[in-house]
Amino acid sequence: MRICLFPGTFDPVTLGHVDIIIRAKPLFDTIVIGVGKNSSKTPMFSAEQRLKWFEDIFKDEPGIKAAVYEGLTINFCKEIGAKFILRGIRYVSDFEYEKTIADANRTLDASIETIFLTGEPKYTSVASTIVRDIIRNGGDASPFLPEVVVESLKKK
Protein backbone atom coordinates (compact mmCIF):
# COMPACT_ATOMS: atom_id res chain seq x y z
CA MET A 1 0.00 0.00 0.00
CA ARG A 2 1.58 3.28 -1.15
CA ILE A 3 0.44 5.96 1.29
CA CYS A 4 1.56 9.52 0.67
CA LEU A 5 1.26 12.59 2.89
CA PHE A 6 0.75 15.98 1.25
CA PRO A 7 1.48 18.35 4.14
CA GLY A 8 0.89 22.09 4.25
CA THR A 9 -0.97 24.93 5.89
CA PHE A 10 -3.29 25.38 2.87
CA ASP A 11 -4.41 28.79 4.13
CA PRO A 12 -6.51 28.91 1.98
CA VAL A 13 -6.75 25.87 -0.31
CA THR A 14 -5.88 27.00 -3.86
CA LEU A 15 -6.25 25.57 -7.35
CA GLY A 16 -2.49 24.95 -7.27
CA HIS A 17 -2.90 22.61 -4.27
CA VAL A 18 -5.77 20.76 -5.93
CA ASP A 19 -3.77 20.42 -9.16
CA ILE A 20 -0.84 18.75 -7.37
CA ILE A 21 -3.16 16.30 -5.57
CA ILE A 22 -5.05 15.32 -8.73
CA ARG A 23 -1.84 14.82 -10.70
CA ALA A 24 -0.26 12.76 -7.88
CA LYS A 25 -3.32 10.51 -7.45
CA PRO A 26 -2.23 7.84 -10.00
CA LEU A 27 1.12 7.47 -8.19
CA PHE A 28 -0.28 6.39 -4.80
CA ASP A 29 -2.98 4.16 -3.34
CA THR A 30 -3.87 6.82 -0.76
CA ILE A 31 -3.01 10.49 -0.46
CA VAL A 32 -3.54 12.00 2.97
CA ILE A 33 -3.70 15.78 2.89
CA GLY A 34 -2.12 16.87 6.16
CA VAL A 35 -3.47 20.24 7.25
CA GLY A 36 -0.69 21.38 9.53
CA LYS A 37 -1.17 23.42 12.66
CA ASN A 38 1.99 25.51 12.76
CA SER A 39 2.61 27.24 16.09
CA SER A 40 4.72 29.92 14.38
CA LYS A 41 1.96 30.92 11.96
CA THR A 42 -1.39 32.58 12.61
CA PRO A 43 -3.69 31.30 9.87
CA MET A 44 -6.50 33.32 8.32
CA PHE A 45 -8.73 30.23 8.29
CA SER A 46 -9.15 27.63 11.03
CA ALA A 47 -7.66 24.17 10.58
CA GLU A 48 -11.23 22.81 10.71
CA GLN A 49 -12.27 25.09 7.83
CA ARG A 50 -9.29 24.06 5.72
CA LEU A 51 -10.00 20.39 6.47
CA LYS A 52 -13.66 20.81 5.47
CA TRP A 53 -12.67 22.39 2.16
CA PHE A 54 -10.56 19.36 1.27
CA GLU A 55 -13.24 16.94 2.44
CA ASP A 56 -15.79 18.73 0.21
CA ILE A 57 -13.46 18.98 -2.80
CA PHE A 58 -12.49 15.29 -2.68
CA LYS A 59 -15.72 13.77 -1.30
CA ASP A 60 -16.03 11.52 -4.37
CA GLU A 61 -12.36 10.43 -4.35
CA PRO A 62 -11.94 7.37 -2.09
CA GLY A 63 -8.13 7.43 -2.29
CA ILE A 64 -7.85 11.01 -1.04
CA LYS A 65 -8.31 11.83 2.64
CA ALA A 66 -7.57 14.84 4.80
CA ALA A 67 -6.52 15.20 8.43
CA VAL A 68 -5.29 17.92 10.77
CA TYR A 69 -1.94 17.33 12.46
CA GLU A 70 0.52 19.07 14.72
CA GLY A 71 4.21 18.52 15.27
CA LEU A 72 6.82 16.97 13.03
CA THR A 73 5.62 15.91 9.59
CA ILE A 74 7.82 12.81 9.76
CA ASN A 75 6.04 11.71 12.97
CA PHE A 76 2.64 12.13 11.30
CA CYS A 77 3.90 10.03 8.37
CA LYS A 78 4.73 7.22 10.82
CA GLU A 79 1.33 7.60 12.49
CA ILE A 80 -0.57 7.14 9.21
CA GLY A 81 1.86 4.65 7.62
CA ALA A 82 3.01 7.04 4.86
CA LYS A 83 6.29 6.21 3.13
CA PHE A 84 6.12 9.26 0.86
CA ILE A 85 5.81 13.01 1.35
CA LEU A 86 4.45 14.99 -1.60
CA ARG A 87 5.51 18.59 -2.17
CA GLY A 88 4.56 21.01 -4.93
CA ILE A 89 7.23 23.16 -6.54
CA ARG A 90 6.45 26.39 -8.39
CA TYR A 91 9.87 27.99 -8.75
CA VAL A 92 13.54 27.11 -8.27
CA SER A 93 13.46 29.01 -4.96
CA ASP A 94 10.69 26.65 -3.77
CA PHE A 95 12.93 23.70 -4.59
CA GLU A 96 15.86 25.08 -2.58
CA TYR A 97 13.64 25.58 0.47
CA GLU A 98 11.84 22.23 0.06
CA LYS A 99 15.11 20.32 -0.44
CA THR A 100 16.43 21.46 2.94
CA ILE A 101 13.24 20.16 4.59
CA ALA A 102 13.44 16.90 2.60
CA ASP A 103 17.06 16.44 3.67
CA ALA A 104 16.14 16.98 7.34
CA ASN A 105 13.24 14.53 7.03
CA ARG A 106 15.53 11.94 5.40
CA THR A 107 17.96 12.34 8.31
CA LEU A 108 15.10 11.75 10.77
CA ASP A 109 13.77 8.71 8.84
CA ALA A 110 15.51 7.45 5.70
CA SER A 111 12.57 5.12 4.89
CA ILE A 112 10.30 8.06 4.03
CA GLU A 113 10.93 9.58 0.60
CA THR A 114 9.98 13.11 -0.52
CA ILE A 115 8.46 13.39 -4.00
CA PHE A 116 8.36 16.75 -5.80
CA LEU A 117 5.80 17.64 -8.46
CA THR A 118 6.13 20.88 -10.38
CA GLY A 119 3.01 22.99 -10.60
CA GLU A 120 1.18 23.59 -13.84
CA PRO A 121 2.42 26.88 -15.35
CA LYS A 122 -1.06 28.41 -15.07
CA TYR A 123 -0.88 27.94 -11.27
CA THR A 124 2.68 29.09 -10.59
CA SER A 125 1.52 32.55 -9.55
CA VAL A 126 -1.01 31.08 -7.11
CA ALA A 127 0.44 31.45 -3.62
CA SER A 128 -1.72 31.30 -0.50
CA THR A 129 0.05 34.45 0.77
CA ILE A 130 -1.06 36.43 -2.29
CA VAL A 131 -4.57 34.97 -2.13
CA ARG A 132 -4.87 35.97 1.57
CA ASP A 133 -3.82 39.54 0.69
CA ILE A 134 -6.46 39.70 -2.05
CA ILE A 135 -9.16 38.41 0.35
CA ARG A 136 -8.02 40.67 3.21
CA ASN A 137 -8.24 43.71 0.93
CA GLY A 138 -11.66 42.90 -0.48
CA GLY A 139 -10.47 41.73 -3.90
CA ASP A 140 -11.82 38.84 -5.96
CA ALA A 141 -9.63 35.80 -5.29
CA SER A 142 -11.95 33.40 -7.14
CA PRO A 143 -9.59 32.87 -10.13
CA PHE A 144 -7.14 31.20 -7.70
CA LEU A 145 -9.59 29.15 -5.62
CA PRO A 146 -11.65 25.96 -5.97
CA GLU A 147 -15.41 26.59 -6.20
CA VAL A 148 -15.99 25.09 -2.73
CA VAL A 149 -13.68 27.71 -1.19
CA VAL A 150 -15.22 30.56 -3.20
CA GLU A 151 -18.73 29.57 -2.07
CA SER A 152 -17.76 29.34 1.60
CA LEU A 153 -16.09 32.75 1.46
CA LYS A 154 -19.27 34.28 -0.01
CA LYS A 155 -21.17 33.06 3.06
CA LYS A 156 -18.86 34.94 5.44
Q: Is 17 a catalytic residue?
A: yes
Q: Which of 2, 41, 122, 136 is catalytic?
A: 41
For residue 152, CA distances in Å to 46, 79, 142, 146, 155 come to 13, 31, 11, 10, 5
Q: Which of 50, 87, 128, 152 is catalytic?
A: 128
CA 40, 126, 155, 7 torsion: positive or negative?
negative
**Which residues, including other chains, have CB under 8 Å from residue 81's CB and lie 6 or more apart?**
1, 3
Active site residue 41: yes
Q: Give the active site residue among 50, 87, 90, 152.
A: 90
3-8 and 84-89 beta bridge pairing:
parallel
Q: Which residues are catalytic?
A: 17, 41, 90, 128
